[in-house]
Amino acid sequence: MQRSALAVPKYQVVFEALRRDIESGRLPAGGRVPSEAELVERFGASRITVGRAVRDLQLQGLVERRVGSGTFVRRPPATAAVDCTFGVLVPDLPDIEIFEPLVQGLLAAPESRGHAFLWGGGEPAPAARAAAAWSRVQQYIARRVDGVFLAPLEGLAAGDDTNVRIVTALDAAGIPLVLLDRSAYPYPRRGPYDLVGIDNRRVGFAVTEHLVQAGAKRVAFLGSEMGVSTIDGRRAGYREALDVLGADTTLARLPLPSPDDRDAVAAYLASHAPDAVVCAHDRGAARLMHTLLALGRRIPDDIRMAGIDDVEYAGWLPVPLTTMRQPVAQIGEAAVAAMLERRAHPERPARDIFVQCSLVVRQSCGVRAH
């Protein structure tokens, strides 16, 4: 039988069943959640599916993981009173590795205590996220939440104004907004909202500077051309570094093709002969690394590489990746502080709050870590 296009994803079935068990008291506060093996047997689902459902429960603050002990239902605060109710909307959570620890940092921040958080986002199908995000914002407005934390959608089709519609609707409803990681507008526009993240232009400059100082002469850039504000900022920093350092700027206008297109990458290497690549994020760096190795290129001997984010697997790639580490949990904590300050002082100018990154030197850049 063909599965209906409207069928509920299996992970969501597991999530909703466990949430009902928690809310009804069948899984009491402080009680242990069944193990992954037990949940796999109960729901006839894979470990990946069960793991995602439990992760979403954790992101909503319903359960907590204890290393070596398992997962437990979180106890409610000592007081039942809730000072504020905030909406959290991160539509691209499934595809962008930094968002899960960022949201965990937001929910775990000391200043989050006494406040309630409503969760939205994480739809698995990218095509469904814009509509789902807009629907969720309407729910937040109807509930008159006290503020919204938003990570604007990236990679929207040309002419899709979902991000602008969302922030405009929250403005009209008088609901404070703090942006996570990126602007709702194309780079370099920012809009009249507090934004908490990293300074993408300076990060792009720093990682390019490192490769040039390591000996790179022809540095290429790998990043989406779809108008993602974070990537556009990193690309601007990359170009600025080449110019300031007097490096060859030939490849600044010749972006690398998709890292999964082996033939196109091979043609690019043959035509333009880069000896280093700045990757806008570690996810792209990992894909490009596998392609370069499959083409017989040695890293870092033939091509030096560096990324941005320091995701969990960056140090476990075939050639451990040099990258700029984002302190994503700190971004979440800073976002809570920014929201509470915005509520207390709504008349103050909007701010960019940048958390400091650090360079993690590994084998891919050809420089020994100190």
Res 7 pLDDT > 60: no
- Judge whether residue 258 has pLDDT over 80: yes
pLDDT tens-digit map of 153-190: 987 877 889 999 999 999 999 999 999 999 999 888 88
Q: Which of 320, 210, 369, 326 is nearest to 276 (CA)?
A: 210
> Is the pLDDT score of 87 beyond 70?
yes
Domain 10-25+35-72 architecture: Orthogonal Bundle (1.10)
The percentage of the chain sitting over the pLDDT mark of 90, rounded to a whole number, equals 62
Do the bridges between strand 322-325 and strand 358-360 make them parallel or antiparallel, or are there none, so unpaired? antiparallel
The conformation of residue 122, written as its DSSP 8-state character, comes to: -
Could you tell me which residue, 14 or 317, shows the higher pLDDT?
A: 317
* pLDDT band, very low/low/confident/very high, at 192 (cuts 50, 70, 90): very high
Band (13; pLDDT cuts 50, 70, 90) = confident
pLDDT tens readout for residues 53-75 = 888 888 877 888 887 788 998 87
Enumerate the CATH 3.40.50.2300 domain ranges in the chain, comma separated. 83-198+328-356, 200-325
The secondary structure of residue 97, as a DSSP letter, is: T
Fold category of 83-198+328-356 in CATH: Rossmann fold (3.40.50)
Check whether domain 200-325 has CATH 1.10.10.10, yes or no = no
Top-confidence residue, 7 or 218:
218
Determine whether 213 is exposed, middle or buried from the number of CB atoms within 10 Å of its CB (0-12, 13-18, 19+): exposed
Report pLDDT digits (tens) over 209-236. Answer: 999 999 999 999 999 876 689 999 999 9
DSSP code string of 255-324: ----TT-HHHHHHHHHHH--SEEEESSHHHHHHHHHHHHHTT--TTTT-EEEEEE--TTGGGSSSPPEEE
The segment(s) of the chain belonging to CATH 1.10.10.10 are 10-25+35-72
- Is the pLDDT confidence value at 124 over 70? no
Give bridge partners of residue 73 from the DSSP assignment: 63
**pLDDT at residue 1 is higher than 60:** no
